Structures are given as structure tokens and as C-alpha cells.
Amino acid sequence: MNAPNGVARILLIADDPDGGLLYRDALAAGGYQVVQAESFLEAFDSSMIDPDVIVLCELAMFAYPAQNAQVLRIPTAMTPAALVVEVHRRLALRAALHATIAQAA
């Protein structure tokens, strides 16, 4: 995790702010620091420069140079609770990978 306090930072990009609200609230309730942007351009101007996970709500996948964050596209039928579980799973897998690499070094 990038944050000094150990809280994972999530950048939620949703063209429709109301459409992303349930997901944003669920992630925040799950203990994540969440910033919501309405577009890719707004995401670059957001206060969250280096998020741990980028969540896309009804948008196509994207990547940019030097991107370190995982990108998760919310499937149509995914509930907010299922999104929190998936984000947690991905962050836990990444933490386990980094710990394994550190032990091997």
C-alpha cells in the first residue's frame, strides 16, 4: 500500500457520479480511502496521484505510462459488497507477492 497509514487508496472512475456512489460508499465502509472521478482526465487531476487500485464503473479498461495500480472493471452484475471483497482479494494477493519477493531477496 502506498499510504503511510496503511490504508489502501482506491480511485473510482465513473462517468455517472450517481452510478458510482454505491460503490464508493461500500469501499469507504470497507476501510479504503476512496476518491471518485467522473472521467479519465479528471482522474489525472485528482488528489490521488498513485492509487493502489483503479476501479472503473461502466468504462473500458485503460492504462497509462508508469502505471503501478491494478485496474478493476466492475462487471454489470457486481454488487457493491462483491466489489469490496474483490478489491480486498487483489490487495491481499499483491501484498503476499511482495512479501514473497522480499523474503527471496
Q: How far is CA 15 from CA 10, 12, 21, 84, 88, in A?
A: 16, 10, 11, 20, 24
> What interhelical angle do 17-29 and 80-104 show, nearest 10?
60
Cβ pair 71, 56 in contact under 8 A: yes
Q: Give the pairing of strands 53-57 and 70-74.
A: parallel
Per the structure block, which three cell numbers stand in for 71? 485496474
- pLDDT 10s digits, 27-84: 999 999 999 988 777 766 767 778 889 899 887 666 665 567 788 889 888 999 999 9
Does 83 reside within a domain? yes
Does 49 reside within a domain? yes
- Expressed as residue numbers, the domain containing 52 is 9-104
What's the domain count of the chain? Answer: 1
User: What CATH number corresponds to the domain at position 20?
Assistant: 3.40.50.2300
User: Mean pLDDT, to the nearest integer, of 75-95?
Assistant: 90
pLDDT of residue 58: 80
What is the distance, to the nearest Å, from the Cα of residue 15 to the centroid of all Cα atoms in its chain?
Answer: 16
Q: pLDDT class for 22, splitting at 50, 70, 90?
A: very high
Does 43 reside within a domain? yes
pLDDT of residue 60: 64
Does 4 reside within a domain? no
